[in-house]
Amino acid sequence: MLYVFHGSDINRSIEKAHKLIDSLLAKRPDASYVQINSDSWSIPLVESHLGGQGLFSNKYIVFLDRVSESVEAKEHMADLVSPMNESGNIFVSLEGLLNVEIKKIFDKGAEKVVVTELLIKKAANGNGEYNIFALSDALSSRNRAVSWTIYRQAVDRGMSSESILGTLFWKVKTMILASNEKGSGKYSKNELQSLLTNIIVLYHDGHRGLVDMELGIEKLLLEL
């Protein structure tokens, strides 16, 4: 069985994951506890705990600590999620921010997925409308977690992808102009230009129906 904890609030994810592990160990004191991180991760290691048993117990409780930070793990995750979920052993996966593809894999194959989000103070103007410019500030500071969280809040409030992308476009344009005068802060000039190009391409590809614009913006922010 596979339980997954991920999201922008990594501290809450850590707390929830360890609370579950502590509860499982209390219920099954004879279980063998195994921790695997991105450095120790390997396909044979995970597979060895799918159906095996501990030396002195009947079950494994396997803690996967941010293994998707490993490129190899990310590439093979789709092949392992279902076997882990169908295993008689228990797998607890802790992750930070995940890209769209990995999130879909977990959502489809895991027993339970818990998403934690940073609590961002609601930004509103005098009319009570959501202030998307908070996202511009987060993008400018190159804060992926906050950018993603504010973006999801904007989507939940019904803001269109075109409006959000337009705001990001003008923010990056402003940053490029500022970089020519006093430096580019968190980004190099090449990075800003590449970001602007990606926004333009996403906008046009979205209107042509070649990509899902909402998911494309999310991916762009997660890769800041």
Q: Which pLDDT does position 29 carry in this prediction?
A: 84
Neighbours of 24 (CB within 10 A): 17
| pLDDT exceeds cutoff 90 at 62 | yes
Are the folds of 2-116 and 133-222 the same? no
Q: What is the pLDDT of residue 129?
A: 47
DSSP state of 130: B
51, pLDDT greater than 90 = no
pLDDT over 70 for what percent of the chain?
88
User: Residues 121, 127, 129, 130: is their CA dihedral positive or negative?
Assistant: negative
How much is the pLDDT for 201?
Answer: 92
Q: What is the pLDDT of residues 100-109, one digit of tens each?
A: 888 889 999 9
Query: 53: pLDDT confidence band, cut at 50, 70 and 90?
Result: low
Say yes or no to pLDDT of 110 above 50: yes
**Residues with Cβ within 8 Å of residue 212, at least 6 apart in sequence:** 206
38-50 pLDDT, tens digit per residue, is 888 899 999 989 8
What number of residues does the chain have? 224
Parse the chain into domains and list their residue ranges: 2-116, 133-222
Residue from 101, 221, 103 nearest 93 by CA: 103
pLDDT at res. 182: 58
pLDDT band, residue 183 (cuts 50/70/90): low
CATH number belonging to domain 133-222: 1.20.272.10
Measured from the Cβ of residue 129, the count of other Cβ atoms closer than 10 Å reads: 11
Query: Tens of pLDDT along 89-103?
Result: 999 999 988 878 888
pLDDT at site 125: 44
Sequence-ordered alpha helix ranges (H) in the chain: 10-27, 43-47, 71-86, 100-109, 133-140, 144-156, 161-182, 189-207, 213-222
Contact 1, 87 (CB under 8 A): yes
Give domain 2-116's CATH number out of 3.40.1110.10, 3.40.50.720, 3.40.50.300, 1.10.3760.10: 3.40.50.300
Please give the pLDDT value at position 186: 85
What SS3 class is residue 215?
A: helix
